A and B are shown apart, each in its own frame.
Chain A
Amino acid sequence: SAVISQKPSRDICQRGTSLTIQCQVDSQVTMMFWYRQQPGQSLTLIATANQGSEATYESGFVIDKFPISRPNLTFSTLTVSNMSPEDSSIYLCSVEDGSVYGYTFGSGTRLTVV
């Protein structure tokens, strides 16, 4: 299956600051997905990142708050901007993995905003 390296694995940040999360995939993929998993909840899609075009955001998520970069077919970043304690969550990237006919996830970034 695809191998995804996601960094950082965890961080504790001050409110009002920003954090950029990186995902590197070991193969070229058309789309990368960014999810949020709040404590005790399931995963919610934030946006879909396509190389060469702007990311597509789901309802409730906006580019100013969660800017995404997708400079090439193996890499993407998600920034959580102007953080508040409500942004404390696990953030995960994901790709469609043809080798397993499913979706593979990065190991997640556990963010705590204080």
Chain B
Amino acid sequence: RKEVEQDPGPFNVPEGATVAFNCTYSNSASQSFFWYRQDCRKEPKLLMSVYSSGNEDGRFTAQLNRASQYISLLIRDSKLSDSATYLCVVFQTGANNLFFGTGTRLTVIP
């Protein structure tokens, strides 16, 4: 079983739509959680860390459910510039390693 699993998509949504991505992780000892954004032929860039209480940054909201080992990312009022691959990333302290999901590809359509 993969350490981190997420729906690869693609998600094609119109501008202004709300879209949600889900991610599950297998190791309950995982300590830190992140959403990264990766544009085509570019390096991943940190979008936001995910906190237990959930957190919001503008149009982006991240949620963590430790009991279900589930992480989500909600994007409201989608913009064309949101088109990218969104990577769910989990850090395990014991392994001292980041584990990456395969990414969910989002295309926002005019």
Are A and B genuine complex partners?
yes
Q: Are A104 and B46 in contact (CB under 8 A)?
A: yes
Q: Report the tally of A-B residue pairs with Cβ distances under 8 A.
A: 42
Complex-state Cα separation, A41 to B41, whole angstroms: 12
Known A41-B102, A42-B102, A102-B49: A107·B96 in contact at CB below 8 Å: no
Count residues of B near A (Cβ-Cβ below 8 Å).
Answer: 17
Most buried by A among B41, B46, B87, B96: B46
Q: Are A42 and B103 in contact (CB under 8 A)?
A: yes
Count residues of A near B (Cβ-Cβ below 8 Å).
Answer: 23
Q: Are A42 and B87 in contact (CB under 8 A)?
A: yes
Q: Are A107 and B46 in contact (CB under 8 A)?
A: no
Contact surface of A with B, Cβ cutoff 8 Å? 1, 31, 33, 41-45, 48, 58, 92, 94, 97, 100-108, 110
